[in-house]
Amino acid sequence: MIWAVAAFLALGIFFGLVGNLGVLRFPDLYTRLHASAKCSTTTVVSVFIACMLLEGFSVLTGRIVVIALFFLLTGPVTAHIIGRRAWKRGVLPWRRRERRP
């Protein structure tokens, strides 16, 4: 069981690092928002799964499930709201410049 906990914690660390790297490297708001929303949700859920496996079946596990469901629902919704608001404000997506021969 401890190997599964370690695997989920390592997965959470991996997604957290990749998400932060994406926020630093991507060129515009929309791609950064995508990286942060996807990776934050998967990071939190994988860490919570590790906590549930470590705790076993108890009242605390039920609370962790409720918190994880809250993150699963609110993370993508907030990213959508931020992206939609930016689009309505006129923030244009990044475009690669065409090279001329």
pLDDT above 80: residue 96:
no
pLDDT above 90: residue 45:
yes
Is residue 98 situated within a structural domain?
no
Comparing 9-13, 62-66, 72-76, 91-95, the range with the smallest average pLDDT is: 91-95
Domain residues for the domain of 85 are 2-89
Is residue 100 situated within a structural domain?
no
What tokens were used for 19? 């998400």
CA distances from 23 to 7, 28, 31, 39, 101 (A): 24, 9, 8, 10, 32
Domains held by the chain: number:
1
- C-alpha span between 75 and 67 (Å, rounded): 12
Is residue 19 situated within a structural domain?
yes
Tell me the pLDDT of the chain averaged across its residues: 91
Is residue 101 situated within a structural domain?
no
* 16-32 pLDDT tens trace: 999 999 999 999 999 99
Is residue 60 situated within a structural domain?
yes
3-state secondary structure (DSSP) of residue 27: coil
Report pLDDT for 78: 93
pLDDT above 70: residue 101:
no
Report pLDDT for 92: 85
What tokens were used for 96? 């690669």
- C-alpha span between 25 and 37 (Å, rounded): 15
pTM of whole model > 0.85? Answer: no
Is residue 16 situated within a structural domain?
yes
Residue-wise DSSP of 55-100: H-SSHHHHHHHHHHHHHHHHHHHHHHHHHHHHHHHT-PPP-PPPPP
Is residue 74 situated within a structural domain?
yes
Q: What is the mean pLDDT of residues 59-73?
A: 93
Is residue 82 situated within a structural domain?
yes
Report pLDDT for 68: 92
